[in-house]
Amino acid sequence: MSTRSMVKFLWKKRMLFFCEAAEACTNDMACGKCGLGPSQAGWALSGTLPFEALGLSHLGWASCLDRIDGLLHRIWTMTVVVGDGAVFCSAMMVIDYPVDSDVSLHRHKHSAQSLITRENQRTRMSCGESKVVCVTGASGFIASWLVKLLLQRGYTVKATVRDPNDQKKTEHLLSFDGAKERLHLFEADLLEEGSFDPVVDGCECVFHTASPVLLSSTNPQAELIEPALKGTLNVLGSCVKVQSIKRVVITSSMAAVRFNGKPLTADVIIDESWFSDPAFCEKEKLWYMLSKTLAEEAAWKFAKEKGIDIITINPGWVIGPPLQPTLNLTVELVLKLVNGTEKFPNDTYRFVDVRDVANAHILAFENPSASGRYCLVGKVKHCSEVVKMLHEIFPALNLPDKCEDDKPFTPTHQVSKERTQTLGVKYTPLEVSLKDTVESLKDKNFF
Ligand SMILES: NC(=O)c1ccc[n+]([C@@H]2O[C@H](COP(=O)([O-])OP(=O)(O)OC[C@H]3O[C@@H](n4cnc5c(N)ncnc54)[C@H](OP(=O)(O)O)[C@@H]3O)[C@@H](O)[C@H]2O)c1
């Protein structure tokens, strides 16, 4: 069943209803006519529906006032988002009703039909059709989702990997819908100057995600700092030579935001004005944090000097279903918890879902008014609370019931969502991220 007929079917069966403050309505879609974005109301599916089984993950909507046949109407434009979060562009539906009478669906079918066509044209354009973009470090956890969503939105993706002949790094990318026609793999290394020149050539946007993610290192300068710092400057150096590039979106990290020695008490709200302090990171031997801090600092300095438009996305601890066959560091935390460990870490994490991170990167490019840094954290939770949540979702799993030490639990601070909300980011609930991560790890036989 096509998504459009599915929506019609749901509506007919009265399974779709209008509700205030709808939880399920998480996609954003500014209206093409008046530019209105999502506000307090939305469309939701009845809680009794087999929502996931139907392949629907979100419904997006926009509304505007329009005069049709002399009557003032509110036009609701619905976008159905399928599966793992990509906008299903061709499935737009316009539902209109006169604002001065009761809801009457399809009352002005012909006018609505022409709006559908117009909206479809607009959506296809805004969804990246015929746009060429580059993703560095494409085989990584976050980048794999980014490539998948970009392809689903119609972009042509030039993706860099260190070794295009390594099937473990590329097979999953090549299996994505649209990959055959619109994914091009390139070999590039962060440490090789000029390595990215041929890749970024002809692109409108470069998403720079490649950077080593290691929390312990015997040679931090070579293993972390050089690839992060030199790598970022190499990529930006290639971008500055190319006229077609409108914006560079850099995957920075909360590691470049919160490590400044300030105590994280319960009343603290971290926001984009926070910067990690390189001297503090060095003193505490926080090498990954230092690598991300120096890389972001250098990127802003370079952008200012050369006059290029950059944005940094600063995610917290990213979890969610991995697309790549190998395990990455942050998902490993969840695997350890469900895989028979007796003790959980006495630590507080700033969680965010990988699909929200990939989506935020795309929104940062697509939204012309986006600028600066965006802290991306869905929920701050102590590990003990994560274990509790996992127990509620998977009561049969053998989960740790002791903390690794008997120190008091660190208090839970907050991270501001204000800026990411202006970008249109809607956060996946932590319960959903945990459930999807564990199920994906099980499917991939990690435990
Ligand atoms: N996961 C998180 O919680 C999190 C949070 C905030 C920010 N980030 C940032 O997000 C980005 C991606 O992280 P991830 O979690 O997706 O990690 P990941 O799966 O380990 O991906 C890291 C990517 O960087 C590439 N890379 C490393 N060194 C390289 C080099 N010298 N030359 C070229 N490519 C190199 C890797 O390529 P290979 O596959 O060839 O090794 C890999 O594709 C990083 O910038 C990271 O700092 C991650």
Structure confidence by residue, pLDDT tens digits, 346-385: 999 999 999 999 999 999 999 999 999 999 999 999 999 9
Give the residue with greater pLDDT, 48 vs 147: 147
Rounded to the nearest angstrom, the distance between the alpha carbon of 4 and the centre of ligand 1 is 37
Give the pLDDT score at 237: 97
Q: Give, using CA atoms, the residue closest to atom 6 of ligand 1.
A: 253
- Across the range 63-77, mean pLDDT stands at 47
Give the pLDDT score at 2: 53
Give the pLDDT score at 7: 53
342, two tokens = 């007796």
Give the pLDDT score at 322: 98
Distances (CA, A) of 103 to 109, 126, 186: 14, 30, 53
Whether 44 has a pLDDT exceeding 50, the answer reads: no
Structure confidence by residue, pLDDT tens digits, 303-323: 999 999 999 999 999 999 999
On whether the CB atoms of residues 78 and 3 are closer than 8 A, the answer is no
Structural domain contains residue 300: yes
Structural domain contains residue 37: no
Whether 32 has a pLDDT exceeding 80, the answer reads: no
Q: For 89-93, 178-182, 304-308, 357-361, which range has the lowest pLDDT when averaged over its residues?
A: 89-93
Give the pLDDT score at 398: 93
CATH of the domain at 236: 3.40.50.720
Q: For 92-101, 205-214, 422-431, which range has the lowest pLDDT when averaged over its residues?
A: 92-101
Give the residue with greater pLDDT, 89 vs 276: 276
pLDDT band of 340, cuts 50, 70, 90: confident
- Closest residue by Cα to residue 215 from 336, 300, 370, 343: 336
Structural domain contains residue 218: yes
Structural domain contains residue 311: yes
Whether 397 has a pLDDT exceeding 80, the answer reads: yes
Give the pLDDT score at 239: 97
366, two tokens = 């697509």
Give the pLDDT score at 72: 47
Question: Best of 135, 136, 141 to mutate for ligand 1, by most ligand atoms within 8 A of CB?
Answer: 141
Rounded to the nearest angstrom, the distance between the alpha carbon of 210 and the centre of ligand 1 is 5
φ/ψ (deg, to 5) at 130: 70, 5
Whether 197 has a pLDDT exceeding 90, the answer reads: yes
Give the pLDDT score at 130: 76
Whether 113 has a pLDDT exceeding 70, the answer reads: no
3-state SS record for the chain: CCHHHHHHHHHHCCCEEEEECCCCCCECCCCCCCCCCCCCEEEEECCCCCCCCCCEEEEEEEEEEEEECCEEEEEEEEEEEECCCEEEEEEEEEEEEECCCCCCCCCCHHHHHHHHHHHHHHHHHHCCCCCEEEEECCCCHHHHHHHHHHHHCCCEEEEEECCCCCHHHHHHHHCCCCHHHHEEEEECCCCCCCCCHHHHCCCCEEEECCCCCCCCCCCHHHHHHHHHHHHHHHHHHHHHCCCCCCEEEEECCHHHCCCCCCCCCCCCEECCCCCCCHHHHHHCCCHHHHHHHHHHHHHHHHHHHHCCCEEEEEECEEECCCCCCCCCHHHHHHHHHHCCCCEECCCEEEEEEHHHHHHHHHHHHHCCCCCEEEEECCEEEEHHHHHHHHHHHCCCCCCCCEECCCCCCCCCCEECCHHHHHHCCCCCCHHHHHHHHHHHHHHCCCC
Whether 97 has a pLDDT exceeding 60, the answer reads: no
Structure confidence by residue, pLDDT tens digits, 254-276: 999 999 999 999 999 999 999 99
On whether the CB atoms of residues 299 and 250 are closer than 8 A, the answer is yes
Q: Which ligand 1 atom is the nearest neighbour of the CA of 252?
A: 7
pLDDT band of 120, cuts 50, 70, 90: very low
Give the pLDDT score at 31: 29
| Residue 184 exposure: Cα atoms within 13 Å on the Cβ side | 15
Q: Which ligand 1 atom is the nearest neighbour of the CA of 190?
A: 32
Rounded to the nearest angstrom, the distance between the alpha carbon of 121 and the centre of ligand 1 is 36
Q: Which ligand 1 atom is the nearest neighbour of the CA of 324?
A: 19
Q: Which ligand 1 atom is the nearest neighbour of the CA of 166?
A: 40
Structural domain contains residue 401: yes
Amino acid letter for position 232: T
Structural domain contains residue 11: no
Give the residue with greater pLDDT, 382 vs 77: 382
Whether 118 has a pLDDT exceeding 90, the answer reads: no
Structure confidence by residue, pLDDT tens digits, 122-138: 444 346 767 999 999 99
| Number of domains observed in the structure of the chain | 1
Mean pLDDT score across all residues of the chain:
80
Structural domain that includes position 229: 132-444
Tell me how far apart the 2 most distant CA atoms of the chain are, in Å.
Answer: 73
Q: Tell me whether strands 16-20 and 41-45 are parallel, antiparallel or unpaired.
A: antiparallel
Give the pLDDT score at 346: 94
Structural domain contains residue 405: yes
For residues 144 and 161, give the distance between their C-alpha atoms in angstroms, rounded to a whole number.
11
Give the pLDDT score at 410: 84
- Across the range 417-432, mean pLDDT stands at 95
Q: Tell me whether strands 71-82 and 86-98 are parallel, antiparallel or unpaired.
A: antiparallel
Please report, rounded to a whole number, the percentage of residues in the chain having pLDDT higher than 70: 71
On whether the CB atoms of residues 158 and 199 are closer than 8 A, the answer is yes
Whether 77 has a pLDDT exceeding 50, the answer reads: no
- Across the range 99-119, mean pLDDT stands at 39
For residues 80 and 6, give the distance between their C-alpha atoms in angstroms, rounded to a whole number.
10
The residue assigned the tokens 């629907």 is: 56
On whether the CB atoms of residues 23 and 110 are closer than 8 A, the answer is no
Structure confidence by residue, pLDDT tens digits, 289-300: 999 999 999 999
Rounded to the nearest angstrom, the distance between the alpha carbon of 40 and the centre of ligand 1 is 36
Structure confidence by residue, pLDDT tens digits, 216-251: 999 999 999 999 999 999 999 999 999 999 999 999
Ligand 1 pocket by Cβ (under 6 Å):
137, 139-143, 161-162, 169, 189-191, 209-213, 227, 251, 253, 292, 315, 317-318, 328, 330
Structural domain contains residue 1: no
For residues 185 and 167, give the distance between their C-alpha atoms in angstroms, rounded to a whole number.
12
Q: Tell me whether strands 372-376 and 343-344 are parallel, antiparallel or unpaired.
A: unpaired
